[in-house]
Chain A
Amino acid sequence: MNRAIDLVKADAEAVLHGRIEQLDVLRGEHLYITGCTGILGTWLLELIKVLNESHGFGTRVTAYSRRARDFAALWAHLAGVEGFCFVEGDIRYFSEFPSDVRYIIHAAALTDRRLLASQPSSVAEVNGMGTLRILRAAHLLEDVRKFVLLSSGLVYGAQPWDMPQVDETFAGPLRCNDVNAVYAESKRFAEVAAQSAISESKLPVVTLRPFAFVGPYQSLQLPWAVTDFIRDSFTAGPIRIMGDGATVRSLMYASDFAFGVLAALAKGKPRETYNIGSPEPVDLLTLAKMITGSFTPAPEIRTGLGQSGHDHTRLVPDIQKAQKDLGLEVTVPLADAIQRTITWNRYMQES
């Protein structure tokens, strides 16, 4: 496990290299992070750990999650960091923040699409009502400097195939009378609740719309294309693609994602909304080949296994606004991101 931890530490140091001063306002502050046990929350902790241990930030973090205790037991190198405190709880019943908190990242949400299918009303409750609860608690604090809301790139609905990238002004179609829209609609509700908090109590909310990510700490059990491909490659394949592999996505490495969120906390303009993700498109077939190429022998890739007519969807963000305001960059190219994710999983399997 040590090699896996070292790999992440090296990536955290790399993404922060030469950009420390951008985060200076976080020195000595008390950050509150909801949903700290997902891939984003874990990487945020990794970056703050480096800021504290190598750059003397002295930033304290309260990490709030429904499974905080298990997380702390599993990742002792994070649980043991001075100034990190883990609190177990459910945002639906959240009551108040510690009084000295001035920076908040609200990342807690139900995102597993298996859960979206089985318990859609829970998704609406946690992502929608839970966010409302967090916003109201934030309103009670005396001096909130920044509140970062993690929304989703799915709030745009279907990105037109002929639109290369979707920017923050696009208002795509969503079918609110379709249960499958519950996740996107819950995030839309969270966003408008945040806008309401800005209007009513001048809460300085910055909204982020994340797209797709890859990296260490991402569970390979999640039924997403990249996790499917990596997991199936570890079991020697085959990789099964229902369509012809032309579906287009983009993937940002977790360290870049986490830096973007911290930059939004430090530099994001209140009331603004930013896409966060990689602007580089990749089709699923290319992605599958990129992944299988890291295994010997390379697992077989099978395409065209599903029903026809569902092959071509596209989800790629325009991140110019985040590049300008937050300094968001893709510092880890996709091929390296895939390679490092596979290596981390290998280390974990061997430990």
Chain B
Amino acid sequence: MTTLTHITVCDATLRDGSHAYSHQITLEQVKAYATAAELAGYAYLEVGHGNGLGASSLQVGESLVPEGEMLRTAKQCLQNTKLSVHVIPGFATIKKEIMNALDAGVDLFRIGCHCTEADITQRHISHVRGAGREVWGVLMMSHMASAEVLLGEAKKMQSYGAQGIVLMDSAGTYFPKDVTEKIKLLASSLEVPVGFHAHQNLGLAIANSLAALEAGARIIDGTAKGFGAGAGNAPLELLAAVLKQQGYQTTIDLFKSLDAAEIAAQLFAGSLPESNGITIVSGIAGVFSGFSKPVQRAAKQMGVDPRDVFLELGKRKVVGGQEDLIVEVASEIATRKGITQ
């Protein structure tokens, strides 16, 4: 590289990692990790339930502590690093969850939706802009739509007032060429900065993140030690090193980033994601990484192979929010194979 391009690095450890921890992150863990993230110099720290504001529920898992407390605890630890939240309209309402998050001092709201449903984000994005806070649009499960469709949806979000657009590889199914094609089109067509959020199911999180940056992305997500749903995310400590080696400008202190990763390893020991047969098949099937634990539970309950469940969910093009189908699919497979409970 001949020029230094500034990259905004977002730390999703305390949000995406919530999936890997069955949403049982404690306030002590929030405090310890947020302090480390601040020292590491990440631009944003995302905090909350894995599925975002208001998602704590029987269906997708209940958080150990109320999200308001999590947000306020994190906020107290942050000075230069800004506090962000993930928001999925439907889980989060404007009057309750977003208003509470505004009161808690959240700086950035990342309003997400399935990649073909940007229309549902209009009111949430507009409300946050109206409140004078920063707001981005997030297109989840972006492997399920073409580059042209993603551009159309991203333009909607931009029209609503989104000041950044992030593509999520929620299933960890992208290859670098996919990332290049999609990010390149968005980066060359949108006015607002474009970002990428990787998952590690096929072991390509760093490669895909680098492909995104080379295609024009200016925002990149990661988590300490890859602490996130499924096989986890792009490990921030590796991203920090790669960005430095490639000559990108960031606000990260590399050694402090490495320290934050070690702190995360201690805080979440035993729950750090690892690649295994299930996460690999999940990536091949293109199924939301957050389904990993519910699928394993349902497969165990029904006595079936979780990999078969993932493949069937992939055939049905199931997306986040359709968790209730997991048990149904596992049950059907059990019936088909003559397994009795």
Could you tell me if A242 and B192 are in contact, using CB atoms closer than 8 angstroms? yes
What is the chain A residue whose CB lies nearest that of B218? A307
Could you tell me if B152 and A179 are in contact, using CB atoms closer than 8 angstroms? yes
* Alpha-carbon distance between A223 and B162 when the two chains are bound, in angstroms: 10
The answer, yes or no, to whether B49 is at the interface (CB within 8 Å) is: no
Could you tell me if A118 and B156 are in contact, using CB atoms closer than 8 angstroms? yes
Interface residues of B (CB under 8 A from A): 118-119, 122, 126, 129-132, 134, 152, 155-156, 159-161, 163, 187-188, 190-194, 216, 218
Give the interface size bracket for A toward B. 20 to 34
Report A-chain residues with C-beta under 8 Å of the C-beta of B134.
Answer: 240
Question: Could you tell me the distance in whole angstroms from the C-beta of B316 to the nearest C-beta in chain A?
Answer: 27
Question: Could you tell me the distance in whole angstroms from the C-beta of A183 to the nearest C-beta in chain B?
Answer: 11
Q: Count chain B CB atoms within 10 A of each CB in A221, A234, A235, A306 and give the residue with the most.
A: A306
Could you tell me if A307 and B163 are in contact, using CB atoms closer than 8 angstroms? no
What is the chain A residue whose CB lies nearest that of B131? A235
The answer, yes or no, to whether A236 is at the interface (CB within 8 Å) is: yes
* Alpha-carbon distance between A220 and B126 when the two chains are bound, in angstroms: 11
Q: Count chain B CB atoms within 10 A of each CB in A220, A223, A231, A310 and give the residue with the most.
A: A223
Report B-chain residues with C-beta under 8 Å of the C-beta of A236.
Answer: 132
The answer, yes or no, to whether A114 is at the interface (CB within 8 Å) is: yes
Report B-chain residues with C-beta under 8 Å of the C-beta of A237.
Answer: 132
Q: A234-B132, A237-B132 are in contact. List 20 more A-B contacts (CB 8 A).
A: A114-B122, A116-B159, A118-B156, A223-B159, A228-B129, A228-B161, A231-B129, A240-B134, A240-B163, A242-B193, A305-B163, A305-B192, A306-B190, A306-B193, A307-B188, A307-B193, A307-B218, A309-B188, A310-B190, A310-B191
Given contacts A221-B126, A223-B159, A240-B163, contact A306 B131 (CB under 8 A): no
Could you tell me if A232 and B216 are in contact, using CB atoms closer than 8 angstroms? no
What is the chain B residue whose CB lies nearest that of A112? B159
Could you tell me if B129 and A223 are in contact, using CB atoms closer than 8 angstroms? yes
The answer, yes or no, to whether A243 is at the interface (CB within 8 Å) is: yes
Question: Could you tell me the distance in whole angstroms from the C-beta of A262 to the nearest C-beta in chain B?
Answer: 32
Question: Could you tell me the distance in whole angstroms from the C-beta of A105 to the nearest C-beta in chain B?
Answer: 28
Report A-chain residues with C-beta under 8 Å of the C-beta of B131.
Answer: 235
Report B-chain residues with C-beta under 8 Å of the C-beta of A232.
Answer: 132
Could you tell me if A117 and B159 are in contact, using CB atoms closer than 8 angstroms? yes
* Alpha-carbon distance between A49 and B247 when the two chains are bound, in angstroms: 64
Given contacts A114-B122, A118-B119, A307-B191, contact A180 B155 (CB under 8 A): yes
The answer, yes or no, to whether A269 is at the interface (CB within 8 Å) is: no
The 9 A-B residue pairs with the shortest CB-CB distance, nearest first, are: A235-B132, A117-B159, A117-B156, A310-B191, A223-B161, A242-B191, A118-B119, A306-B191, A113-B159
Could you tell me if B160 and A223 are in contact, using CB atoms closer than 8 angstroms? yes
* Alpha-carbon distance between A228 and B130 when the two chains are bound, in angstroms: 9
What is the chain B residue whose CB lies nearest that of A179? B152
Question: Could you tell me the distance in whole angstroms from the C-beta of A208 to the nearest C-beta in chain B?
Answer: 25
Interface residues of A in 208-261 (CB under 8 A from B): 220-221, 223, 228, 231-232, 234-237, 240, 242-243
Question: Could you tell me the distance in whole angstroms from the C-beta of A155 to the nearest C-beta in chain B?
Answer: 19
What is the chain B residue whose CB lies nearest that of A219? B130
Question: Could you tell me the distance in whole angstroms from the C-beta of A319 to the nearest C-beta in chain B?
Answer: 28
Could you tell me if A118 and B122 are in contact, using CB atoms closer than 8 angstroms? yes
* Alpha-carbon distance between A220 and B130 when the two chains are bound, in angstroms: 8
Question: Could you tell me the distance in whole angstroms from the C-beta of A154 to the nearest C-beta in chain B?
Answer: 14
* Alpha-carbon distance between A236 and B161 when the two chains are bound, in angstroms: 18
* Alpha-carbon distance between A309 and B155 when the two chains are bound, in angstroms: 16
Question: Could you tell me the distance in whole angstroms from the C-beta of B274 to the nearest C-beta in chain A?
Answer: 36
